[in-house]
Amino acid sequence: MTMKKTLFTGSGVAIITPFKDYKVDYDALGKIIEYQIANHTDAIIICGTTGECATLSDAEHKKCLEYTLEKVNKRIPVIAGTGSNDTNYAVELSKFASDAGADGLLTVTPYYNKATTTGLIRHYNLLADAVDCPIIVYNVPGRTGCNITAPVYRELAKHPNIVGVKEASGNFSQIVDLFHEFGDVFDIYSGDDDQIVPMLSLGGKGVISVMANALPKETHDICQLYFDGKVKESAALQLRLHSFARAMFCEVNPVPIKAVMEELGFCSGELRLPLSEVEPQNREKLVKIMKDLGILNK
């Protein structure tokens, strides 16, 4: 097997979906997209976990994607979150995204169902057979209750449309195994902002990032410095932002990053239930970290 086409290298932002009066705020989304592009984000991932895809209606999901594609207008790659625990719906959404012009798809493992190895292989192969669009598989067992193991990757590697992996298991031994066995057939991206440099050191292509919503240039720079051979500088920047990256998970994602983007004036901090706005003590923590890093001056 040979390496497939790379969708992007560097920092892909897992962009939030801003709400106003609990409806999608497209003006705010457009503002955030322009901020991302102006600050060198390498790709935009729309309607992923950070984009609260689980509480978007089908119509909202599709409109967010269409809006983002039109706004970005081919300036950088747009990757559509099209995962579902209903394979038929995931196929439908993936077809829509592919036909709309998405550069790629990010498809999380089916959640709650706890699919078997056979079920996962069939699920992903059905998605990949249905579209011409390249697919990045998203492994985040802490949220889905489903971990992708080597036998699954071994089968998925055979499909020409399955090109990459977003790895957010938090199990670095498993991640090393993934690079060792499949690093020559999958592009592998960090799914955790506190592991960007370690992942790059193993041959990773970059990160699909939460903190890049607020820090697009810095997250891009971590990757670019590494690619430019400035490993010490890349690691130093990773460590300087470590407290911020970790604070993005002081509550479940995207609760903290929504609060951060509100503090920065991009949008409201509104979320859709069952998610609720950040607890006051955690907002204080976030504001202090932002001030300490010079991100927030008020």
User: Rounded to whole angstroms, how far apart are CA atoms 199 and 192?
Assistant: 10
Q: Which helix (H) or strand (E) holds 256?
A: helix 255-263
Active-site annotation holder among 111, 138, 189, 226: 138
Q: Which of 160, 238, 164 is nearest to 204 (CA)?
A: 164
Residue 292 and residue 49 in contact, taking contact as beta carbons nearer than 8 Å: no
User: Rounded to whole angstroms, how far apart are CA atoms 53 and 168?
Assistant: 18
**Burial class of 27 by CB neighbour count within 10 A (0 to 12, 13 to 18, 19+):** exposed
Catalytic status, residue 138: yes
For residue 187, report the phi and psi dihedrals to the nearest 5 degrees. -80, 130
Catalytic status, residue 71: no
Q: Which helix (H) or strand (E) holds 165?
A: strand 162-167
Q: Is the bond leading into 254 cis (omega within 30 degrees of zero)?
A: yes
User: Rounded to whole angstroms, how far apart are CA atoms 105 and 136?
Assistant: 6
**Cα dist from 5 to 41, 186, 202, 205, 280, whole Å:** 19, 9, 19, 12, 45
Active-site annotation holder among 166, 189, 205, 258: 166
**Cα dist from 66 to 60, 72, 93, 111, whole Å:** 10, 10, 12, 25
Active site residues: 138, 166
